[in-house]
Homo-oligomer: A and B are copies of this chain.
Amino acid sequence: MRRLSVQADPFDLAHEIQQLTQGRTDIGAVVSFTGLCRSEGGLLEALELEHFPGMAEEEMGRVMDEAEARWPLQGLCVIHRFGMIKAGEQIVLVITASAHRDAAFQAADFLMDYLKTRAPFWKKEWQQGGDTRGWVEAKKEDVAKADRWRDKP
């Protein structure tokens, strides 16, 4: 079972997990990652998420293919929101389901690293009061984290 969505609306983690696990008795481990918008100590009011419609879905699908090729997964779900997202709100959701916990943990970690560096989304910061602080700069650590997976079997 596989689910991919690029959407403006919030997602429902419990519902998504239920979709992946309902009626199954071969899943031993479910890992979820939820990314939230931080206010950076009250500085930020919201993040505006711009994306490349079409390519976002295709690239996320390719990243999911790669996760499925690397680990035995019984289910995975990736949801990425776009539009204006207030501090405290959800941005991204990854769920992985497997017989064993290692596969579920590693696949979720991998998916997040790859989404960060490959999925065509860009964040713009909005301050309290309505001014923008401009676009978030990509972090070198994120590229390094994604590169970790390259040499692994």
Contacts and interface: CB of A to CB of B under 8 A. Distances in A.
23 contacts: A13-B13, A13-B32, A14-B14, A21-B36, A21-B88, A23-B88, A25-B39, A25-B42, A25-B87, A26-B41, A28-B36, A28-B38, A29-B33, A29-B34, A29-B36, A30-B33, A31-B31, A31-B33, A31-B108, A32-B34, A33-B104, A33-B105, A38-B99
Given A31-B31, A108-B105, A112-B101, A26 B39 contact: yes
Interface residues of A, number: 35
Copies of this chain in its oligomeric complex: 2
A68 interface: no
Main secondary structure of the interface of A (DSSP, over half): mixed
